[in-house]
Amino acid sequence: MTVLIDTDPGCDDAVALLLALERSELDVVGLTTVHGNAPVEETTENARSILEVLDRTDVPVAMGADRPLLVDLETAEHIHGEGGIRGELPQPGPETQPVDSHAAQFIIEQAREHEGELTLAAIGPLTNVALALAIEPELPELLDELIVMGGAAFVPGNITPLAEANFHADPHAARRVVRDATPTIVGLDVTTSATLSPDRVESLPQDDPLGRSIDDWLTYYDDERLERYGIESAAIHDALVIAGLVDDAVLETEPYQMVVGTDSELDRGALVCDATGVTGEPPNGTVAVGVDDERFRELLAESLERVLSR
Ligand code: BDR
Ligand code: CA
C-alpha cells in the first residue's frame, strides 16, 4: 500500500511513524507536516529527526500550514513535551531538509503520481488536507483512501465535551474535509483504548536513546489524564490509524452522514454523525466504531521490537 502521512509529531505521531516505516506492507512516499502539537517548524524538525534516527532520510518531508484556516493557533506542548515531543531526538541533519513544495501541493503531486493508489493518512489538524482540496477538488477521486485521526463521534471529546484535539485545532478544515473528501474517521471512540504499556515491548533498552524515547512516547499521559479516561497507559491515537492500514481486522467501520461544527465555541470541532438517518442524507464517509485492541497491541509491540533490534 502506498501511503503519505500528514502529521504533527507529537508523541503518538512518532510511534505512528515508527510503525508505518517499519511495516513492509506500507510504502511511505513522504511526510507532510502541519501545526498542531507544536508550531509547524518544530513538528517538521521532529519529523525529520525521526527519519534520521530510523535511517530513512530517503523519505521526503514537505512542510505545511503554520496556522489553522480561521481560528488562532493552539499547540499542545503541555501534553507532548517541549518542542512538541518528549524523548531524545537528535538535531535533524541537512540531508532531511524539507522539499520545496508546500505540503498541500506535495499531497496533490503525490496523489497525481500514484493516481488511484495513494492512501493519505492524516494524523494532525486537517489544514493541509483542506488546502489541498481547495486547490484540487478532485483530490478524493485521485486517492485510494483518506484516513483521518480525528473527532469523537459517539464519545466525549478531549478538548471540549464535544471536540477532539485535531478537529478542534482547525474546525473549518475538518468541516471541509468531512464534507467533501469521503474520509474514514478514526476518532476517540476507538483510539482512547489504543494503549501499549512499555512492558509489552520486549527488552525495551534503557541504555539506548531510541529505547528511552519510545518509552517516553508510550507514557506521555500524566496520572490525571489516565484517570480521566480510565486507562492504564497513554492513548497512542495516531498509531491506530497506521495499524488499521496494516491489518484491516483492527478496525470495524460503519458509513455515516457527518458534519463538523464551526458555529460556536460550544460546537467547535464537534463531529456530528447522523446515527439514525434522520437527515435523510446519504453517508459521506465511514467512522471506526469498533477496535481489536489486543491485535493493535500485538502488532505495535512486535513492530517496535523490530525497530529496536535493527
Ligand atoms: C490527536 O491530537 C494530538 O495531540 C495527537 O497527536 C492526536 O493526533 C488526539 O486527539
Ligand atoms: Ca497527531
Task: For residue 11, give the ligand nearest its CA.
Answer: 1
pLDDT at 93: 84
Beta bridge partners of residue 227, listed in sequence order: none
Over residues 259-268, the pLDDT tens digits come to 999 999 999 9
Contact between residue 235 and residue 276 where contact means Cβ atoms under 8 Å apart: no
pLDDT band (50, 70, 90) for residue 203: confident
The candidate with the shortest Cα–Cα distance to 310, out of 2, 32, 55, is: 55
Q: Is 237 one of the annotated active-site residues of the chain?
A: yes
Given the residues 114, 168, 172, 237, select the one marked as catalytic: 237
Examine the pLDDT at 177 and tell me if it is beyond 90: yes
Cβ(150)–Cβ(164) under 8 Å? yes
Residues with CB under 6 A from ligand 1: 10, 12-13, 37, 76, 123-124, 149, 158, 164-166, 237-238
What does pLDDT average to over the chain?
Answer: 96
* pTM, full prediction: 0.97
Q: How far is the CA of 278 from the centre of ligand 1 (A)?
A: 30
ipTM of the complex in this document: 0.99
Query: Which ligand 1 atom lies nearest to the CA of residue 188?
Result: 10
Q: Tell me which of 6, 8, 218 to substitute to probe ligand 1's pocket, judged by most ligand atoms within 8 Å of the beta carbon.
A: 8
Residue found by looking up cell 484491516 in the block: 248
Phi, psi (deg, nearest 5) at residue 75 = -115, 175
Higher pLDDT, 94 or 2: 2
Per residue in 32-74, pLDDT tens? 999 999 999 999 999 999 999 999 999 999 999 999 999 999 9
- The Å distance, Cα 278 to ligand 2 centre, comes to 32
pLDDT digits (tens, 9 = 90+) for 102-140: 999 999 999 999 999 999 999 999 999 999 999 999 999
Q: What is the mean pLDDT of residues 176-180?
A: 98
pLDDT the model gives residue 207: 84
Mean pLDDT throughout 143-166?
Answer: 98
Q: Which residue out of 46, 237, 241, 242 has the highest number of ligand 1 atoms within 8 Å of its CB and is therefore the one to mutate?
A: 237
Atom of ligand 1 nearest to the CA of 10: 6
